């Protein structure tokens, strides 16, 4: 299994541009997550999904959109990029629900995004 894969690995955007960060997992996990990590900080949850067609907001959803049309894919969309969105973005998935007593999440390698 490839696990959780993310593309691209690096990206530079100009202010106001749009882009989609791709995330795919091949573990047949129902639960998927998007986090961002600013330099020297912990991860902050942006959005998560408990199954195809179902998404919910995390701590910092403003400026982002998600969709979940298949179990495998969970893309993150930035509509109007701003410098405050410069960060490393991690996608993750889990077999068990986010609220379960065993919530091991499997993380992708991350996408490093810079908005200038």
Residues that bind other proteins (CB under 8 A): 4, 33, 35, 40-45, 48, 50, 56, 58-59, 90, 92, 97-110
C-beta of 79: minimal distance to other proteins in Å? 23
Measured from the CB atom, the residue of 59 and 79 that comes closer to other proteins is 59
C-beta of 16: minimal distance to other proteins in Å? 28
Measured from the CB atom, the residue of 26 and 56 that comes closer to other proteins is 56
Is 48 buried (19+), middle (13-18) or exposed (0-12) by CB count in 10 A?
Answer: buried
Best CA proximity match to 86, nearest among 21, 35, 39, 19: 39
The dihedrals phi and psi of 70, each to the nearest 5 degrees, come to -130, 165
Measured from the CB atom, the residue of 7 and 103 that comes closer to other proteins is 103
Are 73 and 56 in contact by the 8 Å Cβ rule? The answer is no
């Amino acid at each position: 299994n490839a696990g959780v894969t993310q593309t691209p690995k690096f990206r530079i955007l100009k202010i106001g541009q749009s882009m989609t960060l791709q995330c795919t997992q091949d573990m047949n996990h129902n639960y998927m997550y998007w986090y961002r990590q600013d330099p020297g900080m912990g991860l902050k949850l942006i959005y998560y999904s408990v199954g195809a067609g179902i998404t919910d907001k995390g701590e910092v959803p403003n400026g982002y959109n998600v969709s979940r049309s298949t179990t495998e894919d969970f893309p993150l969309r930035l509509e109007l990029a701003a410098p405050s969105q410069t960060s490393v973005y991690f996608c993750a998935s889990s077999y068990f629900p986010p609220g379960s007593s065993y919530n091991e999440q499997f993380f992708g390698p991350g996408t490093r995004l810079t908005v200038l």
